[in-house]
Amino acid sequence: MSDLRDLYQELIVDHYRRPHNYGPLVGANRHAEGFNPLCGDRLTLSLNVVDGMIKELRFEGVGCAISTASASLMTDALKGKTEAQAEAMFQHFQALVTGTDKAEAPVSLGKLEVLAGVREFPVRVKCATLAWHTLLAALHSVKQPVSTE
């Protein structure tokens, strides 16, 4: 039960209920789509990147609490970051939710760390990382939808 409470922390439920940065982004210059066909989670990410810096980003779609909260927290965290910083955060986040960060010097991810509980639920890692893989696709201008399944 403690694992379950670690997974569904209040902050995650809040971001699921009232996701931040949700909706279309006017003037976006990068887009990507994430889709996990087996579970049906789907999200579209739109960014406005100027001189290598993420000025603004928003998302839309349907998903479970984990994938929605992850997208919401990610969009909060990446505003004002450079593309290089965003890619580094992707690596750290990936390590956080898969539990492969233990040996390394922990890098603070701020509020994103609330998703660390996912590591105890391996089948839900794909939910937490869908937004992040969609972000990479947007930064690298990948046209076809990405999946984490």
Partner 1 sequence: MNAPMPNLMLDVARLRMDFPILSQMVHGKPLVYLDNAATTQKPRAVIDCMANYYAEYNANIHRGVHILSQQATDAYEGAREKVRRFINAARREEVIFVRGTTEAINLVASSYGQRLWPGNEILITEMEHHSNIVPWQLLCERSGAVLRVTPISDAGELRLDEFERQLGPATRLVAVTQLSNALGSINPLRRLIELAHGVGAVVLVDGAQAVAHLPVDVQALDCDFYAFSGHKLYGPTGIGVLYGKAALLDAMPPWQGGGDMIREVSFAKTTYNDLPFKFEAGTPHIAGGIGLGAAIDYVSKLGQPAIAAHEHDLLSYASEQAGAIPGLRLIGTAREKASILSFTVAGIHPHDVGTILDDAGVAVRAGHHCTMPVMTHFGVPATVRASFSFYNTIEEVDVLIHAIRRAQEVFG
Give the single-character DSSP code of 144.
Answer: S
Determine the Cα–Cα distance for residues 115 and 13; give it in Å rounded to an integer: 11
Determine the Cα–Cα distance for residues 129 and 115; give it in Å rounded to an integer: 10
Gap between the terminal Cα atoms of the chain: 26
Determine if 111 is a binding residue for partner 1 (CB under 8 A).
Answer: no
Helix (H, G, I), strand (E, B) or coil at 17: helix
Q: Out of 40, 52, 110, 122, point to the residue binding partner 1 (CB under 8 A).
A: 40
Q: Out of 79, 121, 142, 145, point to the residue binding partner 1 (CB under 8 A).
A: 121
Span from 22-30, 52-60, 119-127, 141-149 in contact with partner 1 (CB under 8 A): 119-127
Span from 25-33, 56-64, 74-82, 108-116 in contact with partner 1 (CB under 8 A): 56-64
Q: In the complex, what is the shortest distance from the CB of residue 16 to partner 1, in angstroms, rounded to a whole number? A: 8
Q: In the complex, what is the shortest distance from the CB of residue 124 to partner 1, in angstroms, rounded to a whole number? A: 6
- Comparing CB distances to partner 1, the nearer of 66 and 71 is 66
- Cβ partners under 8 Å of residue 34, min gap 6: 41, 42, 43, 44, 45, 61, 130, 131, 133, 134, 137, 145, 146, 147, 148
Kindly list the residues in this chain that would bind partner 1 in the complex (CB under 8 A).
1, 3-5, 7-8, 13, 16-17, 38-42, 62-66, 68, 121, 124, 127
